[in-house]
Amino acid sequence: MSTADYGEKIPNNVALHEDRRLQRALESWQPDFLNWWESMGPALPTEDVYLRTAVNVGREGWAHFGHVPMKDYRWGIFLAERDQDRRIGFGEHKGEPAWQQVPGEYRAELQRLIVIQGDTEPASVEQQRNLGATAPSLYDLRNLFQVNVEEGRHLWAMVYLLHAHFGREGREEAAELLHRNSGSEDAPRILGAFNEETPDWLSFFMFTYFTDRDGKYQLGTLKESAFDPLSRTCEFMLKEEAHHMFVGTTGIDRVVERTAQVMVANDTDEVAAHGAISLAQIQKYLNFHYSVSLDLFGGETSTNVANYYTAGLKGRWMEGRRKDDHKLTDDAFLVDALLDLQSGEPRIGQTEVAALTGLNTDLRREYIDDCQGGVNRWNKILAAAGLPHRLKLPHIAFNRKVGAFAAIEASPDGDILGKDEWERQQGKWLPTGTDKTYVRSLMRPVYERGKIAAWIAPPRGAPSGGGINGKPFDYDYVHLA
Ligand code: BYC
């Protein structure tokens, strides 16, 4: 069951050959996917790339590494092993056997969740399409492409569910996933952050740190789903996702490290003359990517999320470890809120709501704690360099476009600001045109083995180590066309 069948046109571990109709439907979607990959996927022409391909869903040895032409990458369908006795862990169906089929009453909601999840995957590939042209090293270039092919596979994961379980509507939605495009005027991607640009590698690392991390948390809640095929596909996606976050975490580590080196060596905060990115600019990029990623959790209170939970479609992060009744019908929860709205002087505080409607806040808090881990790590790099400067996460109300704080503007410290004040000050907190132009000006490709751009440090252990799958940093990860 767990080993992938690579003899098939579409590699899979779901016995696709036993369902000819489904197989044909997916095989007819496949050329559309490949056309989309050609026109919207990585723009840089390459001969081959040192990529990992999933071959097994077990704990060990689940991936194979080798140089492959990207257009021949074997995108497949892999679900984690089925637990025959799995029971629903929360909501009104708690304790009942997990569903192998979609219950009619939840069809629309489940389909919507799967479409939203599916929509983000190709969106991120589109956002990152042009980054190959400015990669700081072959190692980074390979990591970019690894992330891209796996986001492509995550799209396959959702398309499989749509085709296998949602009939004609599912097939139509699967087609739409290739028609909407990131940033398009007419048919944009569904969620805000996936229509933003990723025009430079600092943005890419911030995206893989903050936005991919939303993916980790959302997939973590869908892994709890009563709909077993969704749960199993998310479980396996999470395994691949870990590398994407590694790319973000260590990418920002290395930018901060390089900046710190330049600051110490030249005894200055003004590192532009030395070709590095200032800490002030890193902080602004962090503020942006963190705040748009907070929006991805939806409103602080939401009846959607209450319904998803009660129905058993979407659980909480680490549902199994929570010490309560896993139904939450009688519980209350404190959510972040804008208070005293009527008084004309709103303030940021907390308010008690039914626990079920506060579940987006619950998940966002788990996410925020995790994000803080990265900031602590980067601050350790600054401390180790002997610098007093520190990075920090901005306040939860800063730059929000979704939820309780969408109607106001707030500073990174959480002070509510009037529109004029915000307009005057926002350039101190969010990347300005000048910051973006500067960061982009540093983005020149370095395609020579073992070499790296001046604005970023090589990974630890380079050049003889520090690479992927035990290879050195100076390995020939990518052969350009
Ligand atoms: N932008 O009740 P509300 C990933 C909509 S990332 C635009 O407060 P709800 C990845 C919302 O749809 C993970 N619209 O929120 C990362 C609703 O619309 P309707 C992706 C937004 O429904 C990197 C209305 O506003 N997966 O995997 O409780 C690279 C009221 O919303 C936004 C998922 O998100 C927004 N930011 O929660 C690659 C999991 N936020 O219904 C991949 C599936 C809200 O009134 N999705 N809206 O028309 C969900 O669980 C939920 O839909 C959300 C929203 C968490 C997104």
Atom of ligand 1 nearest to the CA of 208: 23
Q: Does residue 2 carry a pLDDT above 70?
A: no
442-447 mean pLDDT: 98
Distance CA 63, CA 52 (A): 6
For ligand 1, atom 27: residue with the closest CA: 215
Distance CA 399, CA 292 (A): 8
Q: How far is the CA of 59 from the centre of ligand 1 (A)?
A: 30
Please give the mean pLDDT across all residues of the chain: 96
For ligand 1, atom 19: residue with the closest CA: 304
Do the beta carbons of residue 276 and residue 259 sit within 8 Å?
Answer: yes
Quick one: pLDDT at residue 6? 78
> Which residue in this structure is represented by tokens 């800063």?
398
For ligand 1, atom 6: residue with the closest CA: 215
Instruction: Give CA separation, 164 vs 11, 12, 102, 229, in Å.
Output: 16, 13, 10, 10
Query: Which amino acid, one-letter code, is at 190?
Result: I
Quick one: pLDDT at residue 247? 98
Do the beta carbons of residue 459 and residue 250 sit within 8 Å?
Answer: yes
**Ligand 1 pocket check: which of 217, 218, 364 to mutate, most ligand atoms within 8 Å of Cβ?**
218
Atom of ligand 1 nearest to the CA of 151: 38
Pocket around ligand 1: residues whose beta carbon is below 6 Å from it? Answer: 113, 116-117, 120-121, 124, 151, 191-192, 211-212, 214-215, 218, 295-299, 302, 304-305, 314, 360, 402
Cα-Cα-Cα-Cα dihedral sign, residues 163, 166, 171, 175 = negative
Backbone angles phi, psi at 274, to 5 degrees: -105, 10
Q: How far is the CA of 277 from the centre of ligand 1 (A)?
A: 32
Q: How far is the CA of 150 from the centre of ligand 1 (A)?
A: 21
Long-range contacts of 166-172 (CB under 8 A, 24+ apart): 166/102, 166/107, 166/111, 166/114, 169/111, 170/111, 171/25, 171/29
Instruction: Give CA separation, 386 vs 264, 267, 303, in Å.
Output: 8, 11, 49
Distance of CA 57 to the CA centre of its chain: 21
For ligand 1, atom 7: residue with the closest CA: 191
Instruction: Give CA separation, 427 vs 157, 250, 421, 436, in Å.
Output: 40, 27, 11, 11
The confidence band for 341, taking pLDDT boundaries of 50, 70 and 90, is confident
CB atoms within 10 A of CB 104: 7
Atom of ligand 1 nearest to the CA of 217: 13
CB within 8 Å of 101: residues ≥ 6 apart: 165
| Pairing relationship of beta strands 347-354 and 409-410 according to DSSP bridges | unpaired
The confidence band for 344, taking pLDDT boundaries of 50, 70 and 90, is confident
For ligand 1, atom 5: residue with the closest CA: 298
157-161 mean pLDDT: 98
Cα-Cα-Cα-Cα dihedral sign, residues 7, 9, 11, 13 = negative
For ligand 1, atom 4: residue with the closest CA: 215
Distance CA 246, CA 257 (A): 16
DSSP secondary structure of 71-115: GG----B--PPP-TT-B--SSTTTTSBPBSS--GGGHHHHHHHHH
Distance CA 313, CA 306 (A): 10
CB atoms within 10 A of CB 29: 21
**Ligand 1 pocket check: which of 245, 296, 360 to mutate, most ligand atoms within 8 Å of Cβ?**
296
**Ligand 1 pocket check: which of 110, 304, 309 to mutate, most ligand atoms within 8 Å of Cβ?**
304
Q: Does residue 125 carry a pLDDT above 90?
A: yes
436-464 mean pLDDT: 96
Quick one: pLDDT at residue 54? 87
Per-residue pLDDT of 243-294, as tens digits, reads 999 999 999 999 999 999 999 999 999 999 999 999 999 999 999 999 999 9
Q: How far is the CA of 116 from the centre of ligand 1 (A)?
A: 7
For ligand 1, atom 31: residue with the closest CA: 298
Query: Which amino acid, one-letter code, is at 281?
Result: Q
Q: How far is the CA of 306 from the centre of ligand 1 (A)?
A: 14
Structure tokens at 342: 């009527």
CB within 8 Å of 311: residues ≥ 6 apart: 91, 92, 93, 105, 106, 109, 226
Per-residue pLDDT of 198-247, as tens digits, reads 999 999 999 999 999 999 999 999 999 999 999 999 999 999 999 999 99
237 sits in which H/E element: helix 228-266
CB atoms within 10 A of CB 334: 13
Q: How far is the CA of 85 from the centre of ligand 1 (A)?
A: 31
Quick one: pLDDT at residue 231? 98
Edge-to-edge, what's the strand order for the sheet holding 63-68? Answer: 63-68, 46-54, 478-480
Atom of ligand 1 nearest to the CA of 303: 2
Distance CA 360, CA 27 (A): 37
Per-residue pLDDT of 393-428, as tens digits, reads 999 999 999 999 999 999 999 999 999 999 999 999
Distance CA 360, CA 297 (A): 6
Q: Residues for the chain: how many in total?
A: 481
State the pTM of this model. 0.97
Q: What is the 3-state secondary structure (H, E, C) of 146-162?
A: HHHHHHHHHHHHHHHHH
Please tell me whether residue 461 adopts helix, strand or coil conformation: coil
For ligand 1, atom 23: residue with the closest CA: 212
Structure tokens at 99: 């569903």
Q: Does residue 55 carry a pLDDT above 90?
A: no
Atom of ligand 1 nearest to the CA of 292: 36
459-466 mean pLDDT: 92
43-53 mean pLDDT: 97
Quick one: pLDDT at residue 254? 98
For ligand 1, atom 33: residue with the closest CA: 117
Q: Burial letters for 337-363: b for 16+ Cβ neighbours within 10 Å, e otherwise? A: bbeeeeeeebebeeeebbbbbbbbbbb
